[in-house]
Amino acid sequence: MDYANPQALVSAAWLTRNLDAKGVKVVDATYFLPGANRDAKAEFAAQHIPGAVFFDIDDVCLNGSDLPHMLPDADTFSAKVSALGIANTDKVVVYDTNGGGMAAARVWWTFRVFSHDDVVLLNGGMKVWLAEGRPMTNEAPAPAPADYAGRKNDSLVRDIEQMLANVESGNEQVIDARTKERFEGTAPEPREGTRSGHIPGSLNLPFFQLMDNENNLAMRNADEIAAVFAGAGLDLDRPVIASCGSGVTASMLAFGLFLLGKEDVAVYDGSWSEWGMRQDTPIET
């Protein structure tokens, strides 16, 4: 079968042809987990796709939260995106250095939360771009400020109270994008002080299973993506919440399901950084 929403991906060839097109804005959303000893902002400064701006999920976030990169309010998002030179009418093309999982899909989901539908991922991101010998630059971006106005769509977001209620009701399936070892509690969490395990009743599908490791982390085809979700036990006819460590790789599961036509997947914003840090939340291993 084909993707139900093929327009959610663009190829490196398409982006090369459209780098200078009016209304096309390119966003580098690269993010690294704590302890990776890599600096996404410095790597962007060293090389990025021409015309791209850097979207820092730890900057475009909820001020004052103890949790990492929580969704900002609409005013904050609008101001930050305006400063990046992005308008409501623009087509936003997002990429990262990890095939979309860190954190292009998170930024894709964030734009959708704020009612921006014309947002897409560069298929394979930086890996495909470099493998195909596409142009790169170290020129610092200087975008002209825009006037962006986002409207939050709460249906695509879940909070801790909704997640606790769902443990009791089981109305929505929860699928966790972390590794099998973190899900089962046999590997430590990267954030100090966080308990190990998973939300009771949740399913597990490590996000990288949606990407083709033999093809520079481009997205797998529709049949393969459908098969890995089915293998994880997910019923596409029922509501779905995606979770992970901090709401980043969960967004890749939401993106994979969007490609298959399931457009209403919610992401648990706090994810395991919130659930595992609290002492009043039930855990399974």
In degrees, to the nearest 5, what angle opens at C-alpha 124 toward C-alphas 248 and 10?
A: 100
The CA distance from 220 to 52, in Å, is 25
Whether 244 sits among the annotated catalytic residues: the reply is: yes
- pLDDT digits over 14-27, tens only? 999 999 999 999 99
**String of DSSP letters for 218-274:** EEPPHHHHHHHHHHTT--TTS-EEEE-SSSSTHHHHHHHHHHTT----EEESSHHHH
Model pLDDT, residue 107:
99
| pLDDT digits (tens), the chain, 285 positions | 999 999 999 999 999 999 999 999 999 999 998 788 999 999 999 999 999 999 999 999 998 899 999 999 999 999 999 999 999 999 999 999 999 989 999 999 999 999 999 999 999 999 999 999 999 999 999 999 999 999 999 999 999 999 999 999 999 999 999 999 999 999 988 888 899 999 999 999 999 999 999 999 999 999 999 999 999 999 999 999 999 999 999 999 999 999 999 999 999 999 999 999 999 999 999
Rg value, the chain, Cα: 18
Instruction: Name the H helices within 7-119.
Output: 12-18, 40-46, 74-83, 104-113
The CA distance from 67 to 76, in Å, is 17
**Where is 27: in which H helix or E strand?**
strand 24-28
Asked whether the beta carbons of 38 and 46 are under 8 A apart, the reply is no
Tokens (6 digits) for 224: 């393969």
The CA distance from 181 to 208, in Å, is 14
In degrees, to the nearest 5, what angle opens at C-alpha 30 toward C-alphas 236 and 230?
A: 15
Helix (H, G, I), strand (E, B) or coil at 37: coil
Model pLDDT, residue 193:
85
What's the CATH fold of domain 6-152?
Answer: Oxidized Rhodanese; domain 1 (3.40.250)
Asked whether the beta carbons of 220 and 255 are under 8 A apart, the reply is no
Contacts of 157 (CB under 8 A, 6+ apart): 71, 113, 266, 267, 269
Model pLDDT, residue 98:
93
Model pLDDT, residue 17:
98
C-alpha 53: how far from its chain's center?
17
Q: Exactly one of 103, 119, 210, 244 is catalytic; which is it?
A: 244
The CA distance from 76 to 79, in Å, is 5
Percentage of the chain surpassing pLDDT 70?
A: 100
Class of domain 155-275: alpha beta
For the chain, give every residue range classified as CATH 3.40.250.10. 6-152, 155-275
